């Protein structure tokens, strides 16, 4: 016998799934701090100055933070540099340096922190990735990709030649592999697989996407 449900019948409320991420223990953020503190509490190895050991402890904490990524890598790096700069009298300079007449650890620490930004290679990589962002925002990378397909897109082999030749021509003028491949060539070729219905993280990626990416990687190793 079948019993029909009446409109007034009581309804059992559906179970609301618990929010697991809201109260998760922030171990990824605490572990780099714990590594730094624990290493700093240990005595330095024989032959290593105390301030150098403290610097190593902060460095190890930054490496652990970059591995776990509780924050973006750039933020973790800046936190490490800022921490060393603030603690410069204890982690950058020894007693001999601090005893020098007229020595100012705060100014010397700030000079150390900013010295990396005077490196021309760092600015080259930064400029290349700014160009890469411009390729993406303006659609220039897609237009260049369409032009490559129009001229050399009849065969996948010719597209591979185009990627290799572009990397080879840029190599003498852009010596940094990161700036050349990651900031100039990749923003263009990343638009090519989609034109052939080849998508990342998908079985279709083996059609042409994987081929082009590996071609660029191997070419970079040869032209570097």
pLDDT band at 162 (very low <50, low <70, confident <90, very high): confident
Q: What is the DSSP letter of 118?
A: G
Range of lowest pLDDT (4-8, 64-68, 77-81, 164-168) = 4-8
Cα-Cα-Cα-Cα dihedral of 35, 40, 46, 47, to 10°? 110
Under the banding of pLDDT at 50, 70 and 90, the label for residue 4 is very low
- Report whether pLDDT(32) > 90: yes
More confident residue, 119 or 84: 84
Tell me, what's the pLDDT at 59? Answer: 95
Mean pLDDT throughout 77-88?
92
For 75-83, what is the mean pLDDT?
A: 92
One DSSP character per residue, 153-215 reads TTSHHHHHHHHHHHHHHHTTT---HIIIIIIIIHHHHTTHHHHTT--TTSGGGGTTHHHHHHH
pTM to 2 decimal places? 0.58
């Amino acid at each position: 016998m079948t019993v029909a449900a009446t409109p007034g019948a009581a309804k059992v409320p559906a179970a609301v799934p618990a929010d697991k991420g809201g109260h998760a223990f922030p171990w990824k953020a605490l572990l780099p701090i714990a590594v730094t503190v624990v290493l700093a509490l240990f005595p330095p190895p024989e032959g290593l100055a105390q301030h150098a050991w403290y610097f190593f402890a902060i460095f190890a904490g930054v490496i652990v933070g970059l591995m776990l990524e509780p924050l973006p890598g750039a933020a973790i790096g800046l936190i490490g540099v800022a921490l060393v700069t603030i603690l410069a009298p204890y982690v950058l300079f020894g007693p001999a340096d601090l005893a020098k007449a007229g020595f100012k650890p705060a100014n010397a620490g700030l000079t150390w922190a900013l010295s990396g930004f005077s490196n021309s290679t760092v600015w080259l990589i930064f400029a290349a990735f700014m160009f890469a962002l411009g390729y993406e925002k303006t659609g220039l990378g897609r237009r260049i990709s369409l032009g490559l397909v129009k001229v050399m897109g009849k065969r996948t082999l010719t597209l591979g030649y185009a990627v290799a030749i572009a990397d080879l021509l840029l190599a003498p003028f852009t010596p940094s592999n990161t700036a050349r491949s990651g900031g100039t060539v990749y923003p263009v070729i990343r638009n090519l697989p989609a034109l052939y219905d080849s998508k990342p993280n998908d079985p279709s990626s083996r059609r042409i996407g994987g081929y082009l990416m590996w071609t660029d990687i191997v070419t970079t190793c040869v032209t570097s």
